[in-house]
Structure 1
Amino acid sequence: MLKIATVSLNPKWQDKKANQKVCEAYISYASMQKLELIIFPEMTLTGFSMDFKEIGEDENDSITLTFFSHLAQKYHIAIIFGMVFFDGDFGKNSAIFIDECGKIKANYIKIHPFSLADEDLYYSKGSHIEVVDFKNYNIALSICYDLRFAPLYSILANQSDIIINIASWPKKRLVHWETLLKARAIENQLYMIGVNRTGMDGNGFEYDESSHVFDANGEEVEILESFKLLKIYEISKDKTEKFKLRFDTTKDKRGELYKKL
């Protein structure tokens, strides 16, 4: 059993110091509840911004990495969050996994920048997946617009028990967000966790509380407890395995054939 928290953060626009204080309060609470993993949305400390020159950081001298690494050690809890690194003339939209000892276990770069909002003009495209072995669970990372591309999730599913998507998904397209999260869980028969932000960003886009956890049957996992914008869940690999003993569709996938079609 894995005890986790999602935080539907409403970040103050491009204000890292203010958002650090809010994040630490949630991390402290999660630690007191003896949770093992806490997950924040895309570009956690800044909001989803194209101004990578303002919000980006050097990977070798990152105040955000240092901040979350320190909190992971202080509160003995693993943390997933989003941030931006410099990449030459572009930024890199990243999802970071830091374990409870403060060690960086994964730095996933968004494979599909959102071209409809010109994200691809400011952020480079990732080319690698990231799957973390954490407390006997294989956890894969993805970011926002990635969710629309089923082939990526099929590949991730071959290596993972849980797929996480951290997002800044606007309120006006929430039907897509919730439908796709559920679909990815059903088609891959695993836990699908989507962590979305709330509030309004500096560009006037509105976001609604819409973080979800779906199990291998596409059913919403019960919220055990909530605190402000934080929700607590339990994830069970045994539950997935028992479900697939009764109804396993993944065994009928024909991956090699699909490549030839």
Structure 2
Amino acid sequence: MQTNMLRLSLAQTTLSWEDPKGNLAHFAHLLSTLQPGQTDVVILPEMFTTGFSMSPKGLAEPTEGRAYHWMAQEAARLSAVVAGSIMVEENGQYFNRLLWVRPDGSYAYYDKRHLFTLAGEQEHYSPGQKPLLVQWKGWAIMPLICYDLRFPVWSRNQYRYDLLLYVANWPAMRIAAWDALLRARAIENQAYTVGVNRIGDDGNGYPHCGHSSVYDYSGGCRLLVSESAGIFTLSLEKKEQDQFRSKLAFLNDQDAFEIL
């Protein structure tokens, strides 16, 4: 079913370090403030069950593990998609995997392509090999993860998506880059662009200051949450974006190339 309006709920909060059970209980409490039919997509931060940990052994789970089943339960309750990334173990490898879980329990997933070398993420996780484009309520959506934000070619809007989505554990020391890059991705792709970040210190002592935000197709800021914790819901209008793209058809002049 195609709809003009899409309601997004951004979950910005602290995370308990390497504590999947505690984090799932925390998010269950947080999401209890949402009522069925109140939103279309709930967006959780990167590695929302553990924090951005480089210790997947003993913490990672199968794709259809405890976190997936909790997400599916919440998606069914809310009649909404629930999305966020977790540690996944598959065939002897570990992935930073974003799950896109629908109300009927079906799901799609995206493995983080750009692993954060400053933290040694590439030493513990395998990189994703392909982007993900999902359809929901008539909207084409591309979900990505944190460090992907720094690499515009990977998010290039050759697919004519309507919404670009980043989940993250982006530290406070580089929050100016987060703000600038999210706006840049929105402008260059003429697409609503959403970033969901965490707050609080991680297990390595790095502070995070949130700044979960939504930018529109022209780079206008529709939502910017500083360090507050909670669920923040807003509606986006597809018709506005379509009219803007029709008037300023910059996407038609993109360079043609493929990533090998």
Q: Give TM-score scaled by structure 1 length.
A: 0.91
1:233 equivalent to 2:234? Answer yes
Q: Which range moved further: 178-187 or 81-90? A: 81-90
Residues 30-66 of structure 1: per-residue CA shift (max 9 Å, x gap)? 2357111110100011100000013201235x11111
1:14 equivalent to 2:18? Answer yes
Corresponding residue number in structure 2 for 1:59: 63
CA distance in 2, matches of 1:114, 1:167: 12
Pick closer, same or farther for the CA change 1:51–1:31 going to 2, 3 Å: same
1:92 equivalent to 2:88? Answer no
Corresponding residue number in structure 2 for 1:189: 190
CA distance in 2, matches of 1:143, 1:228: 20
Residues 65-123 of structure 1: per-residue CA shift (max 9 Å, x gap)? 1111112112322101110111455410011101122221x110000100121100000
State which of 31, 39, 49 in structure 1 corresponds to 2:35.
Answer: 31
Query: What is the 5 A alignment of 1:76-225?
Result: 76-104=79-107, 106-154=108-156, 156-222=157-223
Amino acid at match of 1:114: F
Runs of 4+ in structure 1 displaced over 6 angstroms?
none
Residues 192-240 of structure 1: per-residue CA shift (max 9 Å, x gap)? 10000110111111000210100000001157xxx94221111111110
Secondary structure at 1:92's aligned position in 2?
Answer: strand
CA distance in 2, matches of 1:25, 1:139: 27
Give the fraction of aligned pairs with identical amino acids, expressed as a percent.
Answer: 29
Higher percent of residues as helix = 1
Amino acid at match of 1:136: G
CA distance in 1, matches of 2:21, 2:250: 47
- Total equivalences in the alignment: 253
CA distance in 2, matches of 1:53, 1:193: 31
State which of 34, 50, 54 in structure 2 corresponds to 1:50.
Answer: 54
8 Å CA contact retained: 1:43, 1:83: yes
Q: Give TM-score scaled by structure 2 length.
A: 0.91
Secondary structure at 2:221's aligned position in 1?
Answer: coil
Structure 1, unpaired ranges of 5+: none
CA distance in 2, matches of 1:157, 1:41: 26
8 Å CA contact retained: 2:16, 2:51: yes
What's the CA shift for 1:157? 4.8
Corresponding residue number in structure 2 for 1:74: 77
CA distance in 2, matches of 1:247, 1:205: 41
8 Å CA contact retained: 1:50, 1:119: yes
Secondary structure at 1:203's aligned position in 2?
Answer: coil
Q: Which range moved further: 185-194 or 2-11? A: 2-11
Secondary structure at 1:186's aligned position in 2?
Answer: helix
Q: Which range moved further: 188-197 or 13-22? A: 13-22
CA distance in 2, matches of 1:157, 1:245: 16
